[in-house]
Amino acid sequence: MTIHLAEKTLSEIERKLRADQGAAFRRELGIAVQQCDDAFRAEEESPFRSHLGASILGRDCTRELWYNFRWVKKARHIGRTLRLFNRGHLEEARFVALIRMCEWDIWQVDAKGKQFRISDFGGHYGSAIDGVIRGVPEFPNEPIMGEFKTHNDKNFQKLKKMGVAGAKPEHVVQMQQYMKYKKLRVCLYLAVNKNDDELYAEFIYAEPELADQFTDRAGRIIFSEGPPPRAYENSASFGCKFCDFREVCFKGAGTEVNCRTCKQSQPQADGTWSCRRFNRVLDKDRQLAGCNVWEPIDGMVGVETTEVPVFGDAFGFGLLQGRE
C-alpha cells in the first residue's frame, strides 16, 4: 500500500519553529490551551457514552463494540491511564498551535461555537473531529480533514515503518468516516512520539466504499438485539488482553444492570431508546437506572471457548485485511 508522507508539511513546521526559535508556537499554544475544554473538564464524566464512537469503529472485535454501546460494563481506569487520556487532550492544543504558527487555517467549531461532529442513525453513532485545515503546502487551497494522535515510542516506530494503515488501521477507519460525512477527500494525520517529540505526518485519501462498509457495520452493531460473534478464539488472545469486557465475554462475569443490558429495550431509528415492556421512551438517566424487572439479553454473558466462531466476526472483522 502506498504511503503518502506529508514531507512539505513537516518541513514547513520545522522551518517556522527554527525561524523564531518557537516564539510564534508558544504564543499560539497559550491561546489553544485555553480552548482545550476536554483537558480541563472538572466534573466526573459519565461512565458510558450515549453513542457508538467512530474512533473505535475500526477495532477488530465487533462484540467489544456491541458491549461498549450496550453499557455492559463500566470501565474503571488507573491513574496512569487517566493521565494518558488527559495528555492526549493537551497534545491537541500543541498540534493546533503548530498549524496556526504556520499561518494555516484551522476550524474546529461551528457558527454556534460547538465542536464539529459527525452523526448518523439518529445520533446513536457519531464523533467529534479534531479540525478542518486549509493552507498546507501540498494542498494550499483545499480544505482537508485534520486528525491528531499521540504514540509511545514502540507504536511510533511501527507507524514510521508501516504507515497509518499498517500500524493503526482503526485510525484509517476513523478518518474515512470523517471524510465521508464532511465530504472531504484528504485527511492530514499528524502524530507525535511522546518519548522524544518527533512528528509524523501522512495524507490519507478518502475511500468511499470502505467508509460505507464501516458505516454499515456501525448500523448493524447499534440495532443488533444480541451480541455478535467474538473476533478471537479465547481470552489468551492478544486482542483480548486489554479489552474492558474480557471477563464478561469469556469468564461469565456479571454485567451492569441498566436498560441497555435488558432484552426489553431497543434503540430506535430516530435516536431514542424504548422499552417494550412498559411501552415508553427512555432518556439517558432512566437507561442508567434500569428497573426491578430487568431481563438480561440472551447470550450477553459468554463462556470460554477454544474454537473460532464459524463465521468469524460476521459484522465486519477483516474489512481492512487484504487491501492493496
- Tens digits of per-residue pLDDT, 97-113? 999 999 999 999 888 88
C-alpha span between 153 and 22 (Å, rounded):
24
**Which architecture characterizes domain 4-218 according to CATH?**
Alpha-Beta Complex (3.90)
- Left, alpha or beta for 71 (phi > 0: left; psi -120 to 50: alpha)? left
Instruction: Name the nearest CA neighbour of 258 among 283, 224, 226, 230.
Output: 283
For the chain, domain boundaries: 4-218
CB neighbour burial string for 257-287, b if at least 16 within 10 angstroms, e if fewer: ebbbbbeebbbeeeeebbbeeeeeebeeebb
Instruction: Name the nearest CA neighbour of 103 among 45, 164, 20.
Output: 20
Q: How far is CA 86 from the centre of its chain?
A: 15
Interacting residues of 63 by C-beta distance below 8 A, sequence separation 6+: 227, 228, 229, 230, 231, 245, 249, 313
More confident site: 309 or 222: 222
pTM: 0.91
C-alpha span between 101 and 28 (Å, rounded):
7
More confident site: 46 or 155: 155
Per cent of the chain over pLDDT 70 is: 91
| Predicted confidence band of residue 251 (pLDDT cuts 50, 70, 90) | confident
Mean pLDDT of 314-324: 49
Helices then strands, each counted (H, E), the chain: 9, 12
C-alpha span between 250 and 233 (Å, rounded):
10
C-alpha span between 86 and 83 (Å, rounded):
5
C-alpha span between 74 and 114 (Å, rounded):
28
pLDDT at 114 (0 to 100): 83
Per cent of the chain over pLDDT 90 is: 76
User: Over the stretch 253-281, which tens digit does the pLDDT of each residue have?
Assistant: 889 999 999 999 999 999 999 999 999 99
Rounded to 5 degrees, what angle do the CA atoms 150, 74, 151 make? 10
User: Over the stretch 130-160, which tens digit does the pLDDT of each residue have?
Assistant: 999 999 999 999 999 999 999 999 999 999 9
